[in-house]
Amino acid sequence: MKILYFAWLRERVGLAEEEVAPPAEVATVADLARWLAGRDEAHAYAFENAAVVRAALDRRHVKPDASLAGVREVAFFPPMTGG
Amino acid sequence: MKILYFAWLRERVGLAEEEVAPPAEVATVADLARWLAGRDEAHAYAFENAAVVRAALDRRHVKPDASLAGVREVAFFPPMTGG
Amino acid sequence: MFSVRIQEAPFDAAAEVARLAQGRTDVGGIVTFTGLCRADAGADGAGLKALTLEHYPGMAEEEIERHVAEARARWPLLGAIVVHRHGRLVPGDPIVFVATASAHRAAAFAAAEFLMDWLKTSAPFWKKEERADGADAGGWVEAKASDDAAADRWARD
Amino acid sequence: MFSVRIQEAPFDAAAEVARLAQGRTDVGGIVTFTGLCRADAGADGAGLKALTLEHYPGMAEEEIERHVAEARARWPLLGAIVVHRHGRLVPGDPIVFVATASAHRAAAFAAAEFLMDWLKTSAPFWKKEERADGADAGGWVEAKASDDAAADRWARD
């Protein structure tokens, strides 16, 4: 599973993207965020305020309870500030 | 007093403008329209449906009961269709 | 930069917009509206060959200036440009151009729509149609109730 | 003509508008919005030196395409163009451009404002500021509640 990070999440994690293979019990976006946060200090810092982190599965906005089944690309980012 | 006509009022009257000197009892825009309509057939035709005719006094939109006191230029026209 | 012009000649929308933003860094949004002559603009759907716009010189400028002043009183505008053409226009020709500049987009959008709605119902312009089929040579376009309703949205009691 | 582009280069608003109307006579109104980088855009009012826009390549285009499809489902659009820049921009630089074409002005206005409101809250772009005073080198712009409220206006239950 490919994980992308943008804006300050990218800066905090220290990576723009990474490949991960979470265990089977990681079923939703929220599970994945918690699992990633437990990997190291950088990830913990990125996800310390999980409520403000947004996610996309295969390039579509989703809610934290969205299922990861069949997903190839997960992105985490702060609220958008385009336009 | 200078009278201007636009669009189909101009076509019906047959004039773009004219100078008139209405009698003192012609006090409002509505009075003036009635007085002009009585001048000849062309004016009568122009004002036959007085309810749709709009007016401006010295280049400002007014209602039929507006006073003509001190006015130099009166314009009659159909509802606007600009833009 | 605030400007109102009535002219027969075409206008250059890009040049007008450039005048609104040039040399300043406080404009966050510019909204423009360009109104064009449609081929199917006729009341009965028959093809339109041309429109001739008649206007009341002097009052047309003054009336639009009053609209711009009203827009400035309602929204924090940093600039506004209105250009309205008169004379004979054929389908595809631009007729009217409104541009508004503000720090934020909501004010620019609202002011541009307000100016167009007011223009439609109170700027002294009248359109006469030439139909492609020649059947009715010389019909004056009638005012639309939908335009009155659009302008009424902005009424203040 | 419907088109969505993400690019680092400046855009030519006049050329984009020309693509909407060119060779057709059914367009009655074209609305454009140009969003510009403001010098005072910083949260604390201090001067802004530059903005760097990061985006999610692929998703940015797809998300805006979905907005355009939604706008087409809501209003009878004859064309729509969205251009969003990324990279480093300084005050006065255009950031985003939206243009909509319709037979009538109300649809063009509504669709342009809808697209901008949605862009602000759901297109995957993030702005990082460089302050003129150098005090806070590297602040990410925070999302505004007013933008969420603007986007919520269009929500359909």
The pLDDT of residue B17 is 97
The pLDDT of residue D143 is 87
- Do C66 and C3 form a contact (C-beta atoms < 8 A)? no
Q: What tokens were used for B56?
A: 């401006």
What subunits touch chain C, counting only 3 or more CB pairs under 8 A?
B, D
- Do C30 and D36 form a contact (C-beta atoms < 8 A)? yes
Higher pLDDT, D137 or D89: D89
The size of chain D, in residues, is 157
B78 interaction partners in chain C (CB closer than 8 Å): 126, 140, 143
B77 interaction partners in chain C (CB closer than 8 Å): 56, 124, 126
A82 interaction partners in chain D (CB closer than 8 Å): 53, 55, 60, 84, 96, 119-120, 123-127
Chain C residues whose C-beta is within 8 A of a chain D C-beta are 12-14, 17, 21, 24-41, 91-92, 103, 105-106, 108-109, 112-113, 116, 150
Which residue of chain D comes nearest to C90, CA vs CA?
D25
Mark out the alpha helices in chain C (DSSP H runs).
13-21, 59-74, 105-122, 145-152
B83 interaction partners in chain C (CB closer than 8 Å): 35, 84, 95-96, 116, 119-120, 123, 125, 147
Is C38 close to D17, i.e. CB distance below 8 A?
Answer: no
The pLDDT of residue D46 is 65
Is a pLDDT exceeding 80 seen at residue D133?
A: no
Give the distance from residue D139's alpha carbon to the nearest chain A alpha carbon, in angstroms.
Answer: 9
Among residues C131, C124, C127, the alpha carbon closest in space to that of C142 is found at C127
Is A83 close to D124, i.e. CB distance below 8 A?
Answer: no
Tokens 């209105």 belong to C82
Report CA-CA distances (Å) from D53 to B40, C42, D90: 72, 47, 11
Is a pLDDT exceeding 80 seen at residue D114?
A: yes
Residue D34 lies in a domain: yes
Q: How far apart are CA C55 and CA C128, in angstroms?
A: 11
Contacts 24+ apart (CB under 8 A), B8-13: B8/B46, B8/B78, B8/C140, B9/B46, B9/B53, B9/B76, B9/B77, B9/B78, B10/C54, B12/B42, B12/B45, B12/B46, B13/B42, B13/B43, B13/B46
Q: How far apart are CA C152 and CA C150, in angstroms?
A: 5
Give the distance from residue C44's alpha carbon to the nearest chain B alpha carbon, in angstroms.
Answer: 17
If you average pLDDT over every residue of chain D, what do you get? 91
What pLDDT digit, counting tens, does each position of C1-12 carry? Answer: 999 999 999 999
**How many domains, in total, are found in chain D?**
1
Residue D43 lies in a domain: yes
Model confidence at C92, pLDDT cuts 50, 70, 90, reads very high
Mean pLDDT over residues D33-46, rounded? 78
Q: How far apart are CA D55 and CA D62, in angstroms?
A: 12
Give the distance from residue D25's alpha carbon to the nearest chain A alpha carbon, in angstroms.
Answer: 31
Phi, psi of D30 (to 5 degrees): -125, 125
Q: Does B16 touch chain C (CB under 8 A)?
A: no
Share of chain C above pLDDT 70, in %: 92
Q: Do chains A and B touch (3 or more CB pairs under 8 A)?
A: no
Beta strands D94-102; D77-85: pairing state? antiparallel
Is D36 close to C13, i.e. CB distance below 8 A?
Answer: no
* Residue ranges per structural domain of chain B: 2-77
Domain that holds residue C18: 2-152
Mean pLDDT over residues C124-147, rounded? 83
Give the best residue of A49, A72, A80 to mutate against chain D (max D CB count within 10 A).
A80
Mean pLDDT check: name the lowest of C10-24, C94-108, C138-152, D114-128.
C138-152
Q: Does B12 touch chain C (CB under 8 A)?
A: no
The pLDDT of residue D131 is 84
Q: Mention every residue, 6+ apart, whose C-beta is less than 8 A from residue B29.
A: B55, B57, B62, B63, B64, B65, B66, B68, B74
The pLDDT of residue D145 is 83
Assembly ipTM: 0.92
- Do B83 and B41 form a contact (C-beta atoms < 8 A)? no
Q: Does B82 touch chain C (CB under 8 A)?
A: yes
Q: What tokens were used for C136?
A: 């009715």
What pLDDT digit, counting tens, does each position of A9-22 carry? Answer: 999 999 999 999 99
Share of chain D above pLDDT 90, in %: 71
The pLDDT of residue B60 is 97
What is the pTM assigned to this prediction? 0.93
Q: What tokens were used for D75?
A: 């209003």
Residue type for position A56: A
Q: How confident is the prediction along chain B (83 residues), in pLDDT tens digits per residue? A: 999 999 999 999 999 999 999 999 999 999 999 999 999 999 999 999 989 999 999 999 999 999 999 999 999 999 999 98
Give the distance from residue D59's alpha carbon to the nearest chain C alpha carbon, in angstroms.
Answer: 24
Residue C24 lies in a domain: yes
Phi, psi of A22 (to 5 degrees): -65, 155
Residue C67 lies in a domain: yes
Is B56 close to C124, i.e. CB distance below 8 A?
Answer: yes
List residues bridging with D34 in a β-sheet.
C30, D97
For residue A50, give the 3-state DSSP assignment: helix
Residue C157 lies in a domain: no
Residue type for position A36: L
Q: How far apart are CA A60 and CA A58, in angstroms?
A: 6
Model confidence at D44, pLDDT cuts 50, 70, 90, reads low
Candidate ranges C46-50, C90-94, D19-23; pick with highest mean pLDDT: C90-94
| CATH (domain of C117) | 3.90.1170.40
What fold is seen in the domain A2-77? Ubiquitin-like (UB roll) (3.10.20)
The pLDDT of residue A33 is 97
What pLDDT digit, counting tens, does each position of B53-74 carry? Answer: 999 999 999 999 999 999 999 9
Q: How far apart are CA C40 and CA A28, in angstroms?
A: 54
Q: Does B3 touch chain C (CB under 8 A)?
A: no
CA C68, C69, C75, C79 torsion-angle sign: positive
How big is the C-D interface in CB pairs under 8 Å?
98
Question: Mean pLDDT by 10-residue block, N- to C-terminus, for chain A (83 residues)?
Answer: 97 97 96 97 95 96 96 97 91
Is a pLDDT exceeding 90 seen at residue C126?
A: yes
Among residues D70, A16, B5, the alpha carbon closest in space to that of C124 is found at B5
- Do C58 and C64 form a contact (C-beta atoms < 8 A)? no
Q: What tokens were used for A7?
A: 């804006």
Q: What tokens were used for D133?
A: 């005073």
Is a pLDDT exceeding 70 seen at residue D6?
A: yes
Is a pLDDT exceeding 60 seen at residue D137?
A: no
Give the distance from residue D54's alpha carbon to the nearest chain C alpha carbon, in angstroms.
Answer: 19
Q: What are the E-state strand segments in D26-144?
A: 29-36, 48-55, 77-85, 87-89, 94-102, 125-131, 137-140
